[in-house]
Amino acid sequence: MARIVVKFGGTSVADTARIEKAAEKVAREVALGHEVAVIVSAMSGVTNQLVEYCRTISPMHDAREYDTVVASGEQVTAGLMAIALQKRGISARSWMGWQVPIVSDDVHGKARINDINTPDMIKSLGNKEVAVLAGFQGVTLDNRITTLGRGGSDTTAVALAAALKADRCDIYTDVDGIYTTDPRIVPAARKISRISYEEMLELASLGAKVLQVRSVEMAYKQNVPVQVLSSFDEAIGSDLPGTLVTKEDDIMEQYVVTGVAFTKDEAKVTLVGVLDTPGVASRIFGPLADAAINVDMIVQNISRDGNKTDMTFTLPETDIAKTQEVLKAQPEFKDCEIRVDENVAKVSIVGIGMRSHAGVAKTMFTALAEKGVNIQVISTSEIKVSVLIGREYLELAVRALHAAFGLEKAAA
C-alpha cells in the first residue's frame, strides 16, 4: 500500500463526464489498496470567467474579494468529485482549503503556502476515506480566503504530497507528459521520460505552463517525486507511464539541451536618455522591485556622448502601467521618454548539460540567424539561454531551435 496524491487539472474535470472518468482512475488506485488524496482544479474556463466577472464590476477590485470569487470554481469540482466517488461505493469527502487548513500568507491573488495542518486528513485517510481537496485555495491567519496564483492547483498538490509524506504525486492533465517543447506548437516534440527538478524549474519559469513554477520549486525542496500524465489515457499513475520529475542523479540519459520554452507574456521597456552615472540602475530597478515588479532581462545601451544612455528591460505585460507610474514618480525620470514594445516574445533553451558543453549559444544564434530572426536581448544562466525576439517570429524560432538541437530525433 502506498499513499498517493493525484491532481486533475481543468480539462480533466471540464464537465461531469470528465469528472466521472477521473473518479474511475481514483477508484482504480483505491482498489490497489492505496490511500488517496485528490486535488481538483476548477472546470476549464471557469476561473477565467470568474476573473472576468471581477474585472467587469471593477478593474481595481479588492484583492481579498477577488480571491473569494475565484476560489469558488474549485469548491464545485471538489464536491462533484466526492459525489462521483461515493457513487462508485468509495468513501470520500471534500475539503476546502480553509477546512484543512492550508495556511498561506496574505499576498492575495498569488499567496504562498506557509503550513498545512494534516492530522485530521491523515485520520480520514486512515479510515479509508478518499480526501478530495479543492486546489488553488488557502486561508490567512486572520481567516481570509486566498488563492495561489494561476495554475496554483499544481502547488496545492505538491504541498499536500510533501505534508502527507506521500509516496507519489501524480499530476493528470491534457498531455501525457512533459515534452521537449509545447506539443501544441511543435507536433514533433518528444516526450521526456525523466526530467530533473532544476530543468523543469527553468522550463516552467520560462513559460512552460504544464506545471506551476512554485509546484516545481516545492517538489525540488521537499524531494517530492512528481509525475505528469494524461487523464485522457487509459493508464493510471501506478502504471508509471508519464514523465517523472526527479533528482538529477536519477536520470540516466542526459542531453545538452533538454527543452525549449517560450512566453508571450513579457513586454520590452526602454527608458530613453538617462544619465550614464554610477547608481542609475539602482535608482531605476530599486523602486520597481519595491513595487513588486519582476524585471527579467536588462541591457544598458552604450552611451554615445558619454553622458546619457538608454536602459532597456523586460517585465510582465500586466505590469506596464504600474512601471510607468513608478518611474514617472521619480523626479529624475519624470521627463524621460518611456518606450513600450509589447510585440516581443522570449524563447529559451534549457539543459543541465550546458554546464559542461561549450558552443550551445552559438548553435542557438546560428539557427535563428538562418531563419532571419533578429535577436533584441540575450540573457543566460548556467543551464539556460534566453533571447527576446519579435512576436511574429515566435513559432518559427521555437521550431528552428527544436530542430537545431535534435530534440525530436533523440530516443526518449
Shortest Å distance, C-beta 42 to ligand ASP: 4
Binders of Mg ion among residues 2 to 31 (CB under 5 A) are 9
178 binds, among Mg ion, ligand ASP, ligand ADP, none (CB under 5 to 8 A by kind): ligand ADP
Q: Contact region for ligand ASP (CB under 6 A) — 147-155, 162-170, 203-211, 355-363?
A: 147-155
Shortest Å distance, C-beta 126 to ligand ADP: 29
Specify the residue, 153 or 312, whose C-beta has the smaller distance to ligand ASP.
Answer: 153
- Within 13 Å of residue 348, how many CA atoms lie on the same side as its CB? 28
Find where cell 510585440 sits.
343
**Cα 113 from Cα 220, distance rounded (Å):** 15
Cell of 33: 489498496
Shortest Å distance, C-beta 14 to ligand ADP: 9
∠353-208-74 over CA atoms, to 5°? 140
Using alpha carbons, select from 219, 225, 199, 234 the residue that is nearest to residue 349.
199
**Cα 68 from Cα 144, distance rounded (Å):** 8
Render the burial of 108-147: b for 16+ CB within 10 Å, e for the rest.
bbbbbbeebebeebbebbeeebbbbbbbbbbbbeeebbbb
150 binds, among Mg ion, ligand ADP, ligand ASP, none (CB under 5 to 8 A by kind): ligand ASP
Nearest residue by C-beta to ligand ADP?
9
Q: Which chain residues interact with ligand ADP by CB under 6 A?
A: 9-12, 41, 151, 173-175, 178-179, 181-184, 208-210, 259
Residue 207 contacts Mg ion per CB under 5 A:
no
Specify the residue, 274 or 345, whose C-beta has the smaller distance to ligand ADP.
Answer: 345
Shortest Å distance, C-beta 209 to ligand ADP: 5
47 binds, among Mg ion, ligand ADP, ligand ASP, none (CB under 5 to 8 A by kind): ligand ASP
Residue 41 contacts ligand ASP per CB under 6 A:
yes
152 binds, among Mg ion, ligand ADP, ligand ASP, none (CB under 5 to 8 A by kind): ligand ASP
Residue 207 contacts ligand ASP per CB under 6 A:
no
Binders of Mg ion among residues 119 to 178 (CB under 5 A) are 151
Q: Contact region for ligand ASP (CB under 6 A) — 100-108, 145-153, 354-362, 390-398?
A: 145-153
**Cα 138 from Cα 147, distance rounded (Å):** 6
Shortest Å distance, C-beta 301 to ligand ASP: 37
**Cα 240 from Cα 233, distance rounded (Å):** 12
Find where cell 491573488 sits.
109
Q: What secondary structure letter does DSSP report for 105?
A: -
Cell of 384: 539556460
Q: What are phi and psi of 179, to 5 degrees?
A: -110, 170
192 binds, among Mg ion, ligand ADP, ligand ASP, none (CB under 5 to 8 A by kind): none
Shortest Å distance, C-beta 204 to ligand ASP: 13
DSSP-assigned states of every residue in 329-374: TSGGGTTSEEEEE-SEEEEEEE-GGGGG-SSHHHHHHHHHHHTTPP
**Cα 189 from Cα 408, distance rounded (Å):** 5
Residue 10 contacts ligand ASP per CB under 6 A:
yes
Q: Which of 11, 12, 47, 246 binds ligand ASP (CB under 6 A)?
A: 47
Any residues with CB less than 8 A from the CB of 266 and at least 6 apart, and which? Answer: 296, 314, 315, 316, 317, 344, 345, 346, 388
Specify the residue, 175 or 404, whose C-beta has the smaller distance to ligand ASP.
Answer: 175
Shortest Å distance, C-beta 7 to ligand ADP: 8
Pairing outcome for strands 194-196 and 243-246: parallel
Pairing outcome for strands 168-173 and 3-8: parallel
Residue 242 contacts Mg ion per CB under 5 A:
no
Decide: residue 359, CB within 10 A, 0-12 exposed, 13-18 middle, 19+ buried.
Answer: exposed
Q: Which of 12, 77, 153, 348 binds ligand ASP (CB under 6 A)?
A: 153
Specify the residue, 185 or 378, whose C-beta has the smaller distance to ligand ADP.
Answer: 185
Binders of ligand ASP among residues 56 to 75 (CB under 6 A) are 73
Q: Contact region for ligand ASP (CB under 6 A) — 149-157, 171-179, 242-250, 353-361?
A: 149-157
Q: What secondary structure letter does DSSP report for 11?
A: G
Summarize as ranges the residues that interact with ligand ASP (CB under 6 A). 9-10, 41-42, 47, 73, 135-136, 150-154
Summarize as ranges the residues that interact with Mg ion (CB under 5 A). 9, 151
